[in-house]
């Protein structure tokens, strides 16, 4: 049986976790805003520089060379922005995952304690019902662990795919820029 102190402690821990997660969410938003401001400032500066360069172009070939020279840096900057964005999202997600895992582990301990208490105080002749209850709790814990492992594997695969796509985009842009430069 849960006492009033145990219920109060549980609610207090839940509120603390909620505030902790809210703080982490705001930190993620702050990082995202900072990233976007930095990217916007850099883009504005680059547009001004590029506009000046376009105004000084003397012929079409020079304009094509200027445009081709912008492809590689643009692809690299886009890939870097995407990596920063992914890192912010991944970091925030990791913090949420840790909190959820901690809460889940605590809940599993409490359920195990309740089951243990119930089995000690179970009346004679209910051994099979107690065994079914223990088996159900064990199966639920195993299922949860399997889901956690699958999510971790999927997350790792997504991260590897993201890095591979970003690297190939930068390489492709570099090859396109090199090919355009050779044509002049």
How many structural domains compose the chain?
Answer: 1
DSSP code of residue 59: S
DSSP assignments along 8-73, one per residue: HHHHHHHHHHHHHHHHHHHHHHHHHHHHHHHHHHHHHHHHHHHHHHHHT--SHHHHHHHHHHHHHH
Q: Is the pTM here over 0.75, yes or no? A: no
pLDDT at site 19: 85
Domain region containing 11 = 4-183
pLDDT confidence of residue 184: 54
pLDDT reported for residue 157: 74
CA atoms within 13 A on the CB side of 57: 16
What pLDDT shows up at residue 34? 93
Residues of the chain short of pLDDT 50, as ranges, are: none
């Amino acid at each position: 049986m849960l006492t009033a102190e145990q219920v109060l402690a549980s609610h207090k821990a839940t509120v603390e976790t909620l505030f902790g997660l809210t703080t982490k969410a705001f930190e993620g938003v702050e990082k995202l805003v900072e990233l976007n401001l930095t990217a916007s400032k850099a883009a504005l500066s680059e547009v001004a520089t590029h506009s000046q360069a376009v105004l000084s172009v003397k012929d079409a070939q020079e304009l094509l060379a200027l445009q081709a020279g912008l492809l590689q840096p643009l692809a690299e900057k886009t890939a870097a922005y995407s990596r920063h964005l992914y890192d912010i999202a991944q970091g925030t997600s990791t913090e949420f995952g840790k909190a959820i895992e901690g809460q889940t582990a605590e809940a599993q301990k409490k359920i195990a304690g309740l089951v243990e208490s119930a089995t000690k105080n179970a009346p004679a002749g209910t051994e099979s019902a107690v065994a079914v209850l223990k088996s159900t709790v064990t199966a639920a814990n195993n299922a949860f662990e399997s889901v956690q492992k699958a999510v971790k594997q999927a997350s790792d695969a997504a991260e590897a795919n993201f890095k591979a796509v970003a690297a190939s985009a930068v390489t492709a842009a570099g090859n396109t820029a090199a090919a355009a430069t050779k044509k002049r």
